[in-house]
Amino acid sequence: MAISLKDMVAELRRELRHRQTIYPSLIKRGALTDASADRQNTRLQAALDVLASLDEIDAAPEDLERMTPEALTRMQRSMDTLRGYLRNTDLFGEHAGTAFL
């Protein structure tokens, strides 16, 4: 079963909302520390940012001709976001992100 980028983004957003509801009680009970909650949310948000960036730049060439300057600017920002994550992510050990830049 193929899962679309839009579905992945929607699921990550749902999970972040769920954590905002659940984590405070887990922290209060001592089942989760503030630091762990922050770390987990930051990682999930980073994954969401990357997938949302990919979704934003996933346009067919014929669609690019019809895009407004504002949409093209958003696409460029998305590509910059993705490049930033690839540069700062140790995907392949010592060659982190270099194959994609």
Q: What is the pLDDT of residues 70-80, one digit of tens each?
A: 777 777 777 77
Query: Among the listed ranges 3-17, 30-44, 52-66, 71-85, which one has the minimum average pLDDT value?
Result: 52-66
Is there a domain that residue 34 lies in?
yes
| 99 neighbors 92 (Cβ within 8 angstroms) | yes
pLDDT in tens, 63-72: 666 767 877 7
Q: What is the pTM of this model?
A: 0.61
Give the distance from CA 15 to its chain's centroid: 13
Does the residue 101 lie in any domain? Answer: no
Q: How many domains does the chain have?
A: 1
Domain region containing 43? 5-95
Q: What sign does the dihedral 31-36-42-44 (CA atoms) show?
A: negative
Tokens read off for 96: 């982190």
Domain contains 100: no
